[in-house]
Amino acid sequence: MRLTKINFARCIMTNLNTITAKNTIKTLVSAIEKNGMYGLINTATSLYADDVRQRLHHTDFHVRTDRATRPLISLDEAIYYSSTFTQEHFDRFSHVLSHLGTHMIFAKELTVVDYGCGQGLATLALLDYLHKNNCIANKVIHVHLLEPSAITLVLARQYVLAMAKHVNIKVHITVHQQTLAEYLEQPLHFHADTTILHLLSNIVDIASLQSDLFTLSKQINASAGEHFICAVSSYDRGFGRLRFGLTRFAVAQECFSVQSYRFNSNRCIWQDKTANGSSLYAKIA
């Protein structure tokens, strides 16, 4: 597979270089190493309630990011996102990963591509799933994180490394600071003896990505290797473009609900939440 690395010294924005920011990230990473997703979510929630909420109101976040569909540009925004949305997104993506089956042992080399990875949530959910279901056997997982936001990509890399340490799975990470359109300018290429998991968490319903999703599906369809696609969205839209080019695949779609929780950032309390979602799971027929 082609590799497009970025220079982390160049991409880390100013607010990640402060002592306070470095200590905050260290705290989040340590929480993941010790307690996995529970550690990330609860630590981010505490950081927001105790500090970030004084600088970033939830209304300002939603206006600036168009309800979290635009790339994040600060550590405060990343912490707000982790505290408010991560639990629901993790529960939704864990649901679609269940289609992989608890019996699946990846005998081939495993490559994971996380498109629009944000802070690496889909990959974190995957590592948690593989660990809980004993789906990996002493192999290195090659993880590709694709994300246009420099800040969230830096966090995603560190979070994935921390989760891999927590679940004792070896990973090799390549990062791609690119839009999906930029990433697809060169055709995808995989080896025939490789298993590839394509992860798409909450990007398929973004209007500006629809033509890129169609291009992605055609390129995956034409690629060698054993492919699996796991995609999830809060809304039942956007999957048509993704599945249209998958002529070699068996594709299943569903609308579902899972019990979850939502941190109310305005009142700083946890509330029960029924997380509705739509998913697509595809594999070579």
Q: Which of the four pLDDT bands, split at 50, 70 and 90, describes residue 29?
A: very high
Q: Measured between alpha carbons, how far is 260 from 273 in angstroms, rounded to an integer?
A: 5
Per the CB < 8 A criterion, the answer to whether 158 and 119 are in contact is: no
Q: What percent of the chain has pLDDT over 90?
A: 67
Q: Is the pTM of this model over 0.95?
A: no
Q: Measured between alpha carbons, how far is 8 from 104 in angstroms, rounded to an integer?
A: 35
Quote the tokens at residue 226: 């054993």
Mean pLDDT of 48-71: 88
CA distances from 189 to 57, 122, 148, 186 (A): 43, 22, 21, 9
Q: Which of the four pLDDT bands, split at 50, 70 and 90, describes residue 102?
A: low
Residue 106 pLDDT greater than 80, yes or no: no
Residue 13 pLDDT greater than 50, yes or no: no
Mean pLDDT of 112-120: 96
